[in-house]
Amino acid sequence: MINLIGNYSLIFALIISLGTMFFSFKNFKYNNILDFNLIVLVFLQFILIFCSFCTLLLAFINSDFSNLAVYNNSHTTKPLFYKISGSWGNHEGSLLLWLLVLSLFSLIFLIQSKKLSVSFRSLSIFFQQIIIVGFILFIFYTSNPFQLIIPTPNEGLGLNPILQDPALAIHPPILYLGYVGSSIIFSSSLAALVCKYTTNQWARDIKKWTLISWIFLTIGIMLGSIWAYYELGWGGFWFWDPVENVSLMPWFCLTALLHCSSVLEKRSSLQSWTIILALCTFMLSMSGTFLVRSGILNSIHTFANDPERGIFILIFLSCLILLSLIIYFKYNNFEKSNKSFFVSKETAIVINNWFMMYFLAVVLIGTIYPIFLEVITKEKISVGPPYFNQLIIPLLIPFLFIMSIGTKLDWIKNKEINVRYKKIVLLILSVLISYLIAKHLNTKILYSTVLISAALYLLFISILDLKNDKLKWSQKTSHLAFSILIISIILNSIFSEEQSVNLKAGEEKKLSKYTIRFEKISKSQIENYTSLKAEIWVSQNNNELIFYPELRLYKVPETITSEADIKTNLFNDNLVVVNYLKDTDYLNIRYQKKPFMLLIWISALMLAVGGILGLRKKY
Amino acid sequence: MYGKKVKLRFTYLSLILVVLILSTYLVLKSLEENVVYFISPTDIKGLAEINYDKKYRVGGMVKKSSISMNSEQINFIITDYKNEISVKFNGVIPNLFSEDKGVVAEGFLKDRNFLEASKILAKHDENYMPPEVKKALEGN
């Protein structure tokens, strides 16, 4: 019954889509006042999709196993919180969530864009509806969350325990808010092209949406990487895994868009570049969903997947690309701005935009090259972290330097290039400090010195900028956060230490720096799993740390997860992860020292806070 | 001969071209160096030449009762039910690593029968089986 309601709401939402497309196109053609029907229809559509999502949620909460999606991903013994999060933890539900957010954003866009011209608004809604129709069809044909199973099973298969985690429960919705926010940017830039509305007013509007998606994407990526850090037990926060890369690519694009839309806003130049970035962002978000959900990525964490879905999204994606290309080439007649190079803020922004595009290209190639090679030569490969590190880190150096210089320059043309002694002192200081840090390393002293000093210099300049009244607080916060983030990541990767050892209970092993002792292990039954808690002592120079890492044995599905015990302080994380093998007495123990982890999380959060500050201003 | 604007544009374009070519070259070179090939134990037997300085990813199933452990290392055998290879590993094994389950070991080949792994990956999904193994099993 409840499944039927969900299913039919979706069908009605699809019908309404067609109505909305008709009305919005009519509205665009006969440019009068906004048809009241349009708002009603978009609102109705949102309510229907919301209804449909709620029924799925209810099915999950009530453990209604007549629903295939619930049967596959839920279990009666699961805590309520994970029953709820389970509704979007699977492929079908997550797409319904995509759709829900998509329609919500269309509604918000329509309501809050009252001041803009009717033809622009209705055309944006028209493009938005094309995306919505595509997604509803996709859900119907390849991943309907309301499929029934007859006869109804008594018990579900359970949610992969590794996904039963608070950070990962809210990770998909937040990431999707970021992805889907870019759909508005996409539709409104297509509409702006057609309506010849690529002005600074438009840039101001688009910037708001860019900021919103950027904030959610930043937080979404951060949550995912926090989860990977403590749940996967790999002892790192970024692995250049295809699934991670796919969320990073729209982030690069959005960041570039954010900066160049402020050039458009202030200087009315870079129109076509802004449009291209805006279109790319959504394409990348779509391909992100496609790559993750289709299962063609050779990733170690793809969850639900099915090749048929991939083909559908691929076709849909190509249609959208084609549509945007046609519109772009038909309507792009921007005024030619004279391209002259002055030392100015916009030059700095443009240069860093290009760096951003380079980073994007590197990540893109590294992510999809294996797919192409497999299709063409049948050879299976994976591209490892060294590829990304080799290509991205060296270019980070000029990127950071330009970023630290750029904020101080004026628009149009910098009047005087005043080199203050303060900055020189800071530069020398950062080089000195970096040398002292890099000296401890055995290899590549020069390279590390330059890299660390670029990051340090940016940090110093950002701190100095805090007093500068000409700059906005959003920018100051985000730039400072970014510099802290970069420097913590660099120091973290340089000074991380790791030791692993296999021990029996009561045994002790002396390693080069530490002594690790496996004291004992205790067993207890908690909710839907059995917990094995080990007691591990790590001592170094008479300093003793006691860790209680945990193993959780789940019955449905039969899985083990490791919970690391992490001791965090501002400058250092110490963590121990254990694992065991059936039929052996050995415990597989890994001790890690990870400096500045907390700073990485704090600065990523601060980056998002900077974005939120940017929203505050009334436009 | 040419106007100032044309000259400027020419310099601009050629600069972009040079940068593009340079970065493409760098990307391709780095790609070539850092690609890790994914192979099955049967593939290893068929390799014409083994590159001992290059990392490989060997995928297959963990052979039944082949796992042995001491305080420093874990030894086990990866099989695709046609051929097999011994693996030595020092580090942390993933949760889903166990007998008769799919596994991917990354590391350097010492010879055709021995891999010194630096990383072991197992899929998050307990029912996962590497595609090659699936194919091999279906073939039997």
If you write DSSP's letter for every residue of A461-510 in order, what string do you get?
A: HHHHHTT-TTS-HHHHHHHHHHHHHHHHHHHHHHH-EEEEEEE-TT-EEE
Higher pLDDT, B103 or A310: B103
Contact A579 B95 (CB under 8 A): yes
If you write DSSP's letter for every residue of A109-121 in order, what string do you get?
A: HHHHTTTS-HHHH
Q: Rounded to an integer, what distance in angstroms lies between the CA atom of residue A110 and that of residue A562?
A: 47
Q: Kindly report the nearest CA distance between residue B48 and chain A, in angstroms.
A: 15
For residues B20 and B64, state if they share a domain: no
Task: Please give the helix or strand (H or E) that residue A578 lies within, else none.
Answer: strand A572-580
Position A258 pLDDT exceeds 90: yes
Confidence category of residue B123, pLDDT binned at 50, 70, 90: low
Residue B103 sits in a domain of what CATH number? 2.40.50.140
Position A128 pLDDT exceeds 90: yes
CA-wise closest residue to A339 among B128, B12, B52, B79: B12
- Chain B hits for A391, CB-CB cut-off 8 Å, are 26-27, 30
pLDDT at A417: 60
Tens-place pLDDT, residues A139-196: 988 888 898 888 888 888 877 777 788 888 888 889 989 999 999 999 999 999 998 8
Tens-place pLDDT, residues B125-139: 555 555 555 555 554
Q: Which of A294-298, A312-316, A354-358, A410-414 has the highest mean pLDDT?
A: A354-358
Position A305 pLDDT exceeds 70: no
Residue A614 lies in a domain: no
Residue the block writes with tokens 């050879």:
A379
- Selecting from B8, B30, B96 the residue whose C-beta is nearest the C-beta of A387 gives B30
Contact B73 A369 (CB under 8 A): no
Percentage with pLDDT > 90 across chain A: 39
Percentage with pLDDT > 70 across chain B: 85
**Which token pair is A242?**
């295809």
Q: Which of A28-32, A113-117, A128-132 has the highest mean pLDDT?
A: A128-132
Number of domains, chain A: 4
pLDDT at A291: 76
Higher pLDDT, A119 or A89: A119
For residues A230 and A356, state if they share a domain: yes
CA-wise closest residue to B62 among A235, A412, A583, A572: A583
Which sign does the torsion angle of CA A409, A333, A281, A184 carry?
A: positive
For residues A359 and A427, state if they share a domain: no
Q: Kindly report the nearest CA distance between residue B32 and chain A, in angstroms.
A: 9
pLDDT at A255: 96
Task: Please give the helix or strand (H or E) that residue A72 lies within, else none.
Answer: helix A68-73
Over chain A, what is the mean pLDDT?
Answer: 86
> What's the average model confidence in pLDDT over B62-70?
87
For residues B59 and B108, state if they share a domain: yes
For residues A396 and A365, state if they share a domain: no
- Domain housing B12: 1-34
- Selecting from A361, A380, A501 the residue whose C-beta is nearest the C-beta of B38 gives A380
- Domain housing A286: 173-382
| CB contact at 8 A, A342 and A327 | no
**Which token pair is B97?**
């690593």
A368: nearest CA partner in chain B = B31
Chain centre to alpha carbon of residue A91: 17
Tens-place pLDDT, residues A563-574: 889 999 888 999
Q: What is the pTM of this model?
A: 0.91
Q: Rounded to an integer, what distance in angstroms lies between the CA atom of residue A247 and that of residue A297?
A: 13
For residues B6 and B55, state if they share a domain: no
For residues A256 and A367, state if they share a domain: yes
Position B140 pLDDT exceeds 50: no
Residues 6+ apart with CB under 8 A from A203: A261, A262, A264, A265, A274
Contact A559 B55 (CB under 8 A): no
For residues B21 and B83, state if they share a domain: no
For residues A418 and A373, state if they share a domain: no
Contact A501 B126 (CB under 8 A): no
Residue A582 forms contact with B (CB below 8 Å)? yes
Position A304 pLDDT exceeds 50: no
Position A358 pLDDT exceeds 50: yes
CA-wise closest residue to A226 among B47, A234, A286, B101: A234
Confidence category of residue B44, pLDDT binned at 50, 70, 90: confident
B31: nearest CA partner in chain A = A387
Confidence category of residue A201, pLDDT binned at 50, 70, 90: confident
Residue A337 forms contact with B (CB below 8 Å)? no
Higher pLDDT, A82 or B122: A82
Contact B74 A358 (CB under 8 A): no
**Which token pair is A534?**
């080990």
For residues B2 and B18, state if they share a domain: yes
Q: Rounded to an integer, what distance in angstroms lies between the CA atom of residue A309 and that of residue A295?
A: 9
For residues A348 and A479, state if they share a domain: no
Contact A380 B94 (CB under 8 A): no
For residues B49 and B107, state if they share a domain: yes
Q: Kindly report the nearest CA distance between residue B129 and chain A, in angstroms.
A: 12
Residue A553 forms contact with B (CB below 8 Å)? no
Q: Which of A76-90, A261-275, A333-347 has the lowest mean pLDDT?
A: A333-347
- Chain B hits for A340, CB-CB cut-off 8 Å, are 8
The residue type found at B92 is V
Contact B33 A386 (CB under 8 A): yes
Q: Rounded to an integer, what distance in angstroms lies between the CA atom of residue A607 and that of residue A555?
A: 40
User: Other C-beta atoms within 10 Å of B138: how many?
Assistant: 7
Q: Which of A382, A551, A555, A584 is most worth mutating to test chain B (most B CB atoms within 10 A of its CB)?
A: A382
For residues B89 and B46, state if they share a domain: yes
Q: Kindly report the nearest CA distance between residue A357 and chain B, in angstroms.
A: 12
Residue the block writes with tokens 């904030």:
A215
Residue A575, classed as helix, strand or coil, is strand
Alpha carbon dihedral A606, A611, A612, A615, in 10-degree steps, equals 160
Confidence category of residue A303, pLDDT binned at 50, 70, 90: very low
Residue A424 lies in a domain: yes
Residue A294 lies in a domain: yes
Q: Rounded to an integer, what distance in angstroms lies between the CA atom of residue A466 and that of residue A609?
A: 15
Tens-place pLDDT, residues A477-494: 999 999 999 999 999 988
A378: nearest CA partner in chain B = B38
Tens-place pLDDT, residues A398-436: 999 999 888 878 776 666 666 677 788 888 899 988 888
| CB contact at 8 A, B79 and B67 | no
Position B65 pLDDT exceeds 60: yes
For residues A311 and A415, state if they share a domain: no
Number of domains, chain B: 2
pLDDT at A302: 47
For residues A426 and A365, state if they share a domain: no
For residues B25 and B87, state if they share a domain: no
Q: Which of A382, A413, A443 is the C-terminal boundary of a domain?
A: A382
Residue A160 lies in a domain: no
Higher pLDDT, A609 or B112: A609
Q: Which of A375, A391, A551 is most worth mutating to test chain B (most B CB atoms within 10 A of its CB)?
A: A391
Burial-class residue B1 by CB neighbours within 10 Å (0-12, 13-18, 19+).
exposed
Q: Rounded to an integer, what distance in angstroms lies between the CA atom of residue A386 and that of residue A372?
A: 20
Residue A584 lies in a domain: yes
Position A619 pLDDT exceeds 50: no
Q: Which of A92, A124, A153 is the C-terminal boundary of a domain?
A: A153
Higher pLDDT, A297 or B51: B51
Q: Rounded to an integer, what distance in angstroms lies between the CA atom of residue A194 and that of residue B24?
A: 35
Residue A465 lies in a domain: yes
Residue B122 is given by DSSP the state -
> What's the average model confidence in pLDDT over A288-309?
62
The residue type found at B122 is A
Residue A401 lies in a domain: yes
For residues A430 and A345, state if they share a domain: no
For residues B47 and B111, state if they share a domain: yes
